[in-house]
């Protein structure tokens, strides 16, 4: 009788497992917003972003006993998400058309040459652009450039963290970010021109 009752009352989860969950809840769950935001900006579809987060967290919890306590949990989660994204979503996500960077550079130089002052670099000119237009411009960047912009300018990662995340030297992060912002500028300049926010000089 006692054995039967003890079986009924027994914990199906060991104290170690419960502790593991408590640690996971404290260390990993607070980063869910950051991961979702990144996933959404990378993929551009809320359902796919939600699925990616779910897969990432299930994997992270499964391997949480391997996570080295005291190290950067957010970076660890981002690495898991990156691998999941590469294995599953990148294959099915339509990659923006390849960008010929020389064309971008030429266009950038033309903008510079055709403006004798820096009025077109005033932030006020671009204030009427919508979040969607800016987000669309980011989404249209090639993946390598999109990644660094999102991580640096939206998620607030340091160059070193980004370098660790995408497995490239810090100098490459800097160079990609520099180019990515130039690409974005040419797109925003075009948007602003199309909407008549720019007063073109003759």
- Interface residues for another protein in 45-64 (CB under 8 A)? 46, 50, 53-54, 57-58, 61
Closest contact distance (angstroms) between CB of 152 and another protein is 6
Give the end-to-end CA distance of the chain in Å, rounded to a whole number. Answer: 96
Closest distance to another protein from the beta carbon of 136 (Å): 11
Distance from C-alpha of 184 to C-alpha of 190, rounded to nearest angstrom = 10
Residue from 68, 71, 97, 130 in contact with another protein (CB under 8 A): 130
Nearer to another protein, 46 or 72 (CB): 46
Residue 112 in the binding site for another protein (CB under 8 A): yes
Q: What residues contact residue 90 under an 8 Å CB cut-off, 6+ apart?
A: 143
The reply on whether position 74 binds another protein by CB under 8 A is: no
Give the nearest distance from C-beta 14 to another protein in angstroms. Answer: 10
Q: Which residue stretch of 74-82, 88-96, 121-129, 193-201 sits at the interface with another protein (rule: CB under 8 A)?
A: 121-129
Residues in CB range of 86: below 8 A, 6 or more apart = none
The residue count for the chain: 202
158 binds another protein (CB under 8 A): yes
**Is 77 near another protein (CB under 8 A)?**
no
Q: Which element (helix H / strand E) includes 83?
A: helix 73-84
Vertex 127: Cα angle to 114 and 182 (nearest 5):
45
Question: Does 2 participate in binding another protein (rule CB under 8 A)?
Answer: yes
Task: Give the number of residues in contact with another protein, rule: CB under 8 A.
Answer: 55
The 162-181 site mask, x for binding another protein (CB under 8 A), equals: ------------xx-xxx-x
Question: Which region among 80-88, 93-101, 123-131, 194-202 touches another protein (by CB under 8 A)?
Answer: 123-131
- CA dist 61 and 94 (Å) reads 29
The three-state (H, E, C) secondary structure of 164-185, written as one string: HHHCCCHHHHHHHHHHHHHHHH
């Amino acid at each position: 009788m006692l054995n039967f009752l003890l079986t009924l009352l027994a914990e199906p989860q060991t104290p170690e497992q419960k502790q593991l969950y408590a640690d996971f809840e404290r260390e990993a769950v607070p980063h869910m917003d950051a991961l979702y935001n990144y996933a959404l900006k990378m993929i551009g579809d809320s359902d796919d972003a939600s699925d990616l987060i779910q897969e990432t967290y299930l994997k992270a919890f499964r391997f949480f006993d391997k996570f080295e306590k005291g190290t950067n949990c957010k970076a660890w989660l981002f690495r898991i998400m990156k691998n999941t994204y590469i294995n599953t979503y990148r294959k099915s996500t339509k990659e923006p058309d390849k960008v010929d960077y020389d064309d971008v550079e030429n266009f950038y130089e033309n903008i510079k040459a055709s403006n004798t002052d820096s009025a077109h670099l005033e932030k006020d000119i671009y204030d009427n652009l919508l979040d969607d237009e800016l987000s669309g411009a980011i989404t249209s960047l090639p993946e390598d450039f999109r990644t660094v912009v999102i991580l640096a300018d939206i998620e607030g990662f340091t160059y070193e963290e980004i370098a660790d995340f995408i497995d490239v030297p810090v100098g490459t992060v800097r160079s990609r970010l520099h180019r990515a912002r130039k690409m974005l500028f040419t797109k925003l300049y075009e948007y602003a021109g199309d909407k008549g926010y720019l007063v073109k000089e003759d």
